[in-house]
Structure 1
Amino acid sequence: MFARRIAVVGTGYVGLTTGACLASLGHRVVCADVDSLKVARLRAGQVDILEPGLAELVVEGQAAGRLEFVVGAAAAVREADVVFLCLPTPMGVGGAADLSAVESVAAEISEVLPYGTVIVTKSTVPVGTSARVRALLGREDVAVVSNPEFLREGTAVRDFLHPDRIVVGSDSPSAAERVAALFAKLGAPTVLMDAASAEMVKYAANCFLAMKLSYVNAVAELCELLGADIESVSEGMGYDKRIGQSFLKPGPGWGGSCLPKDTHAMVQIAEAAGVDFGLVRSTIEANVRAQMRVVDKVRVACGGSLAGVRIGVLGLAFKAGTNDLRDSPALAVAEQLVLEGAELTAFDPEVTGPLAGMLLVDDPYQAVKGAEAVVLLTDWPVFRTLDWVRVAELMDGHTVVDSRNHLDADALERAGLLHSGVGRASLGVTQFS
């Protein structure tokens, strides 16, 4: 593999993973950020992102002389063959993606890019962004390529180094091939296409996954009403190869840094094109309903009112394995409980305070002490090994709302607690021999 000189602009979740992993593949990588303190910490090998294997790659890359960190995009791109833009594209007005960071960096680097550089948009961006960036650069010699990321928080390094596929899109076939060659060592299926199609792939994939999650949450609600069990239903569905096992686990809704903003952006993209994408809008609405159903369960457990009621909360991150609170369904549920007057004491093994409206403690048993009800919102493994007899003794009430069906219901019942799951049959499951 021919090693390239690569610049990565942005050292957030995607940028730092991209830079560190490309360096591990043998490329020379310079990562840039506007935050000088963050750059200093990274130079010292201090990684604030909770991601298995990432800190080790950062340290190894710098020790090998293949990875460095600088302040400012212009300083990073001056000798680059390929420049990855890994910049935030948050939800803007009306749900559309805010491209101000991408546009600002494009303007900043346009005059200092070496001749023939390839610009790669790694961030999730609307269809047409590659053309927009090319126009902002105003450089006929500079090609723009879309290379969407498919990294899951908690497994990002593994996802990068062992991808299902690599998508590369550009209106310049030679530029697309140059970018695809960067990943040749991975041996993954590579799909080359035009820029607009590559930009659409990420939105289409994430919206499909969000729909699958909203669907299983809606089926879980039906299971509760009809006496079926969502665990059995999901298992029976998942063996169908057309459906698959993944994303069939019910919960308090979906969240994180991608699905919420990408579903809203897809609705905006469709509306701008004159298409009523009601399927995605319904997916978003169903997600809010899933969150509110958890609130309803806690309210019922507390006798119908949450005013002045002490609630213990287990988990706040949007999923286990990360400390990310961005659009966390756990946080959304907690905030609704506070709005209804509940007094929350919360514990998450990787989230530190302060957080508005609740007391964040550093011990799960402190979180449940004196609680009328306990609600599990993030499926951290540590919660399965709690001493539930001790929990029962510490609580004032006796109901544990398990919004992710994560806990051993039998263990809770043996401790004298009522386990309230999601989509579970109220009469139990008949066993056939």
Structure 2
Amino acid sequence: MRITVIGTGYVGLVSGVCFSNLGNEVTCVDKDKSKIDMLLRGEVPIFEPGLKDLIEHNVSENRLSFTSDLSKSVKSAEIIIIAVGTPSLPNGEANLQYIEQAVREVAVALNGYKIIMTKSTVPVGTNEHIASIMSELTAHNFDVVSVPEFLREGSAVKDTFHPDRIVIGVNNKRAEQQICDLHKPLTENIIVTDVRSAEMIKYASNAFLATKISFINEVANICEKVGADVTMVAKGMGQDRRIGPSFLSAGIGYGGSCFPKDTDALIQIAGNVEYNFKLLRAVVEVNKDQRFNVTNKLMDVYRDLKDKTITIWGLAFKPNTDDVREAPSIEIVETLVKLGAKLKVYDPIAMEKFRVFSGIVGLEYCNNAMEAAAGSDAICLLTEWDEFSNIDLQELGKVVRTPVLIDGRNVFDENKLVNSKFQYYSIGRPHFNRLKNAEELERVN
């Protein structure tokens, strides 16, 4: 099929590249010419394992191209995928201005029947709004379908080729057949529903996963008080087929471009129909509070952080991505700076994006984990990169000023800690913790 993808962010670029790898002729369009220029040079504007190789292969096979010319791309396509951003407005609602702008440009360029496939995450009723805008601007026939994405950053290519399911919201058989045919090479598990239900499935799915994360973090906080191990609790829970093991890792909360935005949006969707989504409001509140476990534990050690050198390991909201949007690291770093700490930070991939996105000044950016730890009074692990979990704690202990390690992702097990001199604190595993206050540490050292 001939496909045009509008938007070259995580969703648009990964989707377009993967569809081209299935044998389709795909053109990826973006109004940001600098991103298109990067892609034309063979560079990739996002970090996603496996994506660069797929781009190179499909460009060489003449199945994949990049352009800023939306009108020409629309005219040559059978299916137009809209994958532009829908960031949050100050009140939590999804900002649809980029969707509306893209739709208007598509409508003006239409030269015959097309299928408009929305992959951007949009509130219930948005695809009907898209159809209304299109109808005002073109006399050509079209269909609007909703195909929400369920990609995880860091494994987006794998998730595209091996989806749990494909959800297609559609109102007529002609479009249904063509969109089903497009996705059949990926899976036979295709759920066809009405458009509004498809829109809701996306929000409900992300909200439920966010709920699991906040729930296990609340359980972790209780475990610390009663002496239970949240990792064993989660393992026991996850063996129940009704619950499952995914998204039961306690830590410092979720971040990224999807869960925070989509939970806020669903709360607003509910509010717009005069329904108070109390459970989801609590999920969001728990998540905001959870990230400060790290700073609270530092304050338990050092009542005053002024001029203390604190190492931050990990800035991305999760490993295998350079995305720092809504990352817990941002608020943690901001808080520590306000408390007067001197910060040395390191992330294998995300430092430049953190520098630009956060706008936080006065940080020392380091080249590796050991350099960041040298001379520090405490290390805070915020992202569970393998580089951190595989580090030699004996060697690490030789370079720090004071051996304090706050593990916000529970990456270290008892075997690695047993011969370590680190005063260690994790999330919801009190029997692992060996946290002393500053006076006790001074006596030990």
Q: What pairs with 1:187-266 in structure 2 (closer than 5 Å)?
A: 187-266=187-266
Query: CA 1:300/1:178 → structure 2, altered by over 3 Å: closer, same or farther?
Result: same
Identity of aligned residues (%): 38
1:253-287 Cα offsets, whole Å, 9 max, x none, are 10001000000000000000110001111000000
Q: Report the CA distance between 1:78 and its aligned residue.
A: 1.0
Answering whether residue 360 of structure 2 is matched by residue 356 of structure 1, we say yes
Q: Normalised by the size of structure 1, how large is the TM-score? A: 0.95
- The partner residue of 2:371 within 362, 366, 379 is 366
Unpaired runs of at least 5, structure 2 = 434-445
Corresponding residue to 1:23 among 16, 20, 23: 20
| Residue of structure 1 in register with 2:128 after alignment | 131
What is residue 379 of structure 1 aligned with on the other side? 384
Displacement of 1:181? 1.2
- Residue 181 (str. 1) matches residue 181 (str. 2): yes
Give, in whole Å, the separation in 1 of the partners of 2:180 and 2:40.
28
Q: 1:45 aligns with which of 33, 42, 45?
A: 42
Query: Which whole-Å CA distance do the structure 2 matches of 1:408 and 1:382 have between them?
Result: 15
User: In structure 2, the residue corresponding to 1:97 is in which secondary structure?
Assistant: coil
Give the whole-Å Cα distance in 1 for the aligned partners of 2:338 and 2:273: 38
Amino acid at match of 1:298: L
Aligned partner of 1:94 in structure 2 is: 91
Equivalent of 1:396, from 387, 401, 426? 401
Structure-2 residue corresponding to 1:292? 292
Other-structure match for 1:431: none
TM-score when scaled to structure 2? Answer: 0.92
Match of 1:417 in 2: 422
Q: What is the alpha-carbon distance in structure 2 between the residues aligned to residue 273 and residue 263 of structure 1?
A: 16
Q: What is the DSSP-based 3-state SS (H/G/I as helix, E as strand, rest coil) of the residue aligned with 1:83?
A: strand
AA partner of residue 316 (structure 1): L
Unaligned runs of 5+ in 1: 429-433
Compute the displacement of 1:187 (Å): 2.7
2:305 equivalent to 1:339: no
Q: Following the alignment from structure 2 to structure 1, what is the Cα–Cα distance between the partners of residues 323 and 164?
A: 24
Between 344-353 and 188-197, the greater mean CA deviation after superposition = 344-353
Contact 2:414–2:432 (CA<8 Å) still a contact in 1? no
1:305 Cα offset (Å)? 2.3
- Say whether residues 1:103 and 2:108 are aligned partners: no
Q: 262-271 or 57-66, which moves further after superposition? A: 57-66
What are the superposed Cα offsets for residues 220-275 of structure 1, whole Å, 9 maximum, x if unpaired? 00000000000110111010000001000011110001000000000000000110
**Which residue does the alignment assign to 1:120?**
117
Number of the residue aligned with 1:73? 70
Q: Which stretch of structure 1 is more off in the superposition, 209-218 or 328-337?
A: 328-337
Contact 1:217 1:251 (8 Å CA) reproduced: yes
Paired AA for residue 173 in structure 1: K
Query: What is the CA–CA distance in structure 2 between the aligned matches of 1:76 and 1:118, rounded to whole Å?
Result: 14
Offset, 1:159: 0.4
CA contact (8 A) 1:7 1:76 kept: yes
Checking the alignment, whether the CA contact within 8 Å between 1:80 and 1:114 is kept in structure 2 is no
8 A contact 1:270–1:276 mirrored in 2: yes
Paired residue secondary structure (2:122): coil
- Cα 1:385–1:372 change in 2 (3 A) is same
**Residue pair 1:80, 1:113 contacting (<8 A) in 2 also:** no
Counterpart code for 2:8: T
Number of the residue aligned with 1:12: 9
> What amino acid is the match of 2:205?
A
Which stretch shifts more, 410-419 or 275-284?
410-419
Distance 2:188 2:222 in 1: 40
Quick one: which amino acid aligns to residue 400 of structure 1? L
Query: Paired residue for 1:35?
Result: 32
Map Cα deviations across residues 108-162 of structure 1 (whole Å, 9 max, x no partner).
Answer: 1212113110101101000011011111111461110000000001110110011
The 5-angstrom pairing of residues 316-327 of structure 1 reads: 316-327=315-326
Query: In the TM superposition, what is the alpha-carbon distance from 1:409 to its structure 2 partner?
Result: 4.0
Alignment-mate amino acid for residue 42 of structure 1: L
Q: Give the Cα–Cα distance (whole angstroms) in 2 for the partners of residues 42 and 289 of structure 1.
A: 39
Question: Using the alignment, how far apart are the partners of 2:251 and 2:432 within structure 1?
Answer: 21
Q: Is the 8 A contact 2:166 2:187 kept in 1?
A: no
Shift, 1:420, TM fit: 0.6
Residue 55 of structure 1 pairs with residue 55 of structure 2: no
CA distance in structure 1 between the aligned counterparts of 2:120 and 2:114, rounded to whole angstroms: 18
Number of equivalent positions: 424
CA distance in structure 1 between the partners assigned to 2:269 and 2:244 by the alignment:
28
**Contact 2:425–2:432 at 8 Å: present in 1 too?**
no
User: Contact conserved, 2:48 with 2:321, CA < 8 A, in 1?
Assistant: yes
Q: Report matched runs for 1:121-160 at 5 Å.
A: 121-138=118-135, 139=138, 141-160=141-160
Compare 107-116 and 196-205 and name the one that shifted more: 107-116
Partner of 2:436: none
Aligned residue in 2 for 1:162: 162
Deviations 1:378-429 (A, max 9, x none): 000111222322221221222100011102344344131122110003389x
Distance 2:422 2:223 in 1: 22
The residue number in structure 2 matching 1:304 is 303
- Segment drifting more, 413-422 vs 270-279: 413-422
> Quick check: 134-143 or 415-424, which moved more?
134-143
SS at structure 1 position matched to 2:98: helix
Amino acid at match of 1:422: I
With over 3 angstroms needed to count, the CA separation of the structure-2 counterparts of 1:340 and 1:135, relative to structure 1, is: same
